Structure 1
């Protein structure tokens, strides 16, 4: 799979020749590409900055989390979910699925290695990926040299903490949603949830269920749809309708059904966007909220929807409508971002925001053997689609290289960890 050079280079770093691709990230995206490559017998190396696979799911998600879509839309290539799993697997079940997935396809990442830089060397037509160890007293470096690089760090690598006037003056607890586990410790507290996406809505519901008094900031318009309509997944229903109807008409039907179930959400402080939910997702990557009970709590007054924030004070927050709320804690459900621009040195495939420049479905491949997996803004279904295409393309290149003997014999699989 890969081998070590006999000596360290001049900077003291290890140098590792990799015969197949280097895959950065051991979340669902990296695991899916690895499994597809394993099926073809193509060697690879997976680099992961954490000490486990799927660290986002294991360490940065709240306890009550379940998959928002039915499991048939969330399984990775080559391995379906167990039949006994419910329609919407829990966080624990999904983690178990990923662990079994890694075991089945013998995926053994190089853990505790954070990529410092990745750059294509034009002189030798190879990628140079430099990592720094994240454990131990000394931060040793390793340089991986490869012909192909798969960026699989995903859309949610880093939590976004916005700059809000006065936030540093607030005396209560302020955490990002990635550090939220349960509403149990907030019993009786007035908690402001900043952000009204799926995470913000679900955390508000969890807080209310634990006898907290949550308020959720609805700064911009958002589509709220029922997770199921007449016992059928709303997403499943939309996919079925799109086989026969144009996108705009499917959007109209979904909004009519949502109105019958929820009424006019603007009456509760939630304004809908002008674009339909599917059009908005396709054009701007903004996912509609699939409601599992939060809206009913907003309608009953157990959760209060409030407009945008003007500024924070010591123990309160001023809103843009002039109201002031006394609060004890703040949860920032303000999303995540890609970290690709911090370490990948290239300007063709990725834009400054860390997403591919070319829109779906063609943003998975760049120049010089560079690939992007899991940046489609289409959840786990997009992850699987990317993995299959990337592995097929790498397979074709790999077979052609072997045929032309472009991979020197001394660099073929001679040692492994």
Structure 2
């Protein structure tokens, strides 16, 4: 086995893709080192995630049926409705993580600052605080909903504006005209 092959695969993010990747790689005998900015798995499915990046809102339900959502080795249980709430998706992900002991592959409250290629094919992953890790491959599983983008329009608007990423509940808009 080459020196490169002895290095772990690094996974950035412990949401649904990150935990599935960690489980699959470990099952094939590949060393895994995962980094999650929050304190636990779940990514965007963890409502009010302490990582401050989730766009989940209180009434969120997934738009994929449970039959298509589950993993072959961990299907969605029949006790759930066809379209799961964020809390149910998280509960299912947590059961997956427990069943396959996935959490042990991740360092939580750990932010990745940089990923850079090295000569010879390895990657250098630099964490907040300066610690650097070497790995043979990097899986970026940090999702795409954490970075709200706002369009710029000509003119001005004096009313309140929020991005859908920051919406959590309808209560603040009660009695207001909303577009």
Pick the TM interval, shorter chain.
Answer: 0.7 to 0.9
Match of 1:144 in 2: 133
TM-score, with structure 1 as normaliser:
0.37
Residues 161 and 51 (structure 1 numbering): CA distance in 2 closer, same or farther, change over 3 Å? Answer: farther
**In the alignment, which residue of structure 1 is the partner of 2:165?**
178
Please identify which structure carries the higher helix content.
Answer: 1
Partner of 1:21: 9
Larger Rg: 1
Cα distance, 1:163 vs structure 2? 1.7
Gaps of 5+ in 1: 1-17, 133-139, 193-417
Partner of 2:52: none
| 1:400 corresponding residue in structure 2 | none
Aligned counterpart, 2:25: 37
SS state of the match for residue 22, structure 1?
strand
Residue 13 of structure 2 contacts residue 43 of structure 2 at CA under 8 Å; is this kept in 1?
Answer: no
Matches within 5 A, 1:350-361: none
CA contact (8 A) 1:35 1:77 kept: no
Q: CA 1:166/1:115 → structure 2, altered by over 3 Å: closer, same or farther? A: farther
Q: Runs in 1 of length 4+ with deviation above 6 angstroms?
A: none
* Partner residue, 1:46: 34
State the partner residue of 1:154.
Answer: 143
User: What is the correspondence of 1:5-404 to structure 2 with a 5 Å cutoff?
Assistant: 19-58=7-46, 59=48, 60-108=55-103, 109-122=106-119, 124-132=120-128, 140-166=129-155, 170=158, 172-192=159-179
- Which string of whole-angstrom CA distances, capped at 9 and with x for unpartnered residues, describes residues 8-31 of structure 1? xxxxxxxxxx83200111111111
Question: Judging changes above 3 Å, is the alpha-carbon distance between structure 1 residues 173 and 35 closer, same or farther for their aligned structure 2 residues?
Answer: same
Unaligned stretches of 5+ in structure 2? 1-5, 49-54
Q: Aligned partners of 1:178 and 1:77: how far apart in 2?
A: 31
Q: What residue number does 1:336 align with?
A: none
Match of 2:3 in 1: none
| Structure ranking higher on relative contact order (CA contacts 8 Å, 6+ apart) | 2
Aligned 8 A contact 2:16 2:43 in 1: no
Number of positions where the alignment pairs a residue of Structure 1 with one of Structure 2: 165
CA contact (8 A) 2:9 2:138 kept: yes
Q: Deviations over 1:268-322 (max 9, x none)?
A: xxxxxxxxxxxxxxxxxxxxxxxxxxxxxxxxxxxxxxxxxxxxxxxxxxxxxxx
TM-score, normalised via structure 2 length: 0.82
Cα offset, 1:112, TM superposition: 2.1
| Corresponding residue for residue 337 of structure 1 | none
**Bigger strand fraction:** 1
Question: What is the Cα-based RMSD across aligned positions, in Å?
Answer: 1.9
For residues 85 and 40 of structure 2, the distance between their equivalents in structure 1, rounded to whole angstroms, comes to 19
Is the Cα contact below 8 Å between 2:59 and 2:85 reproduced in 1? yes
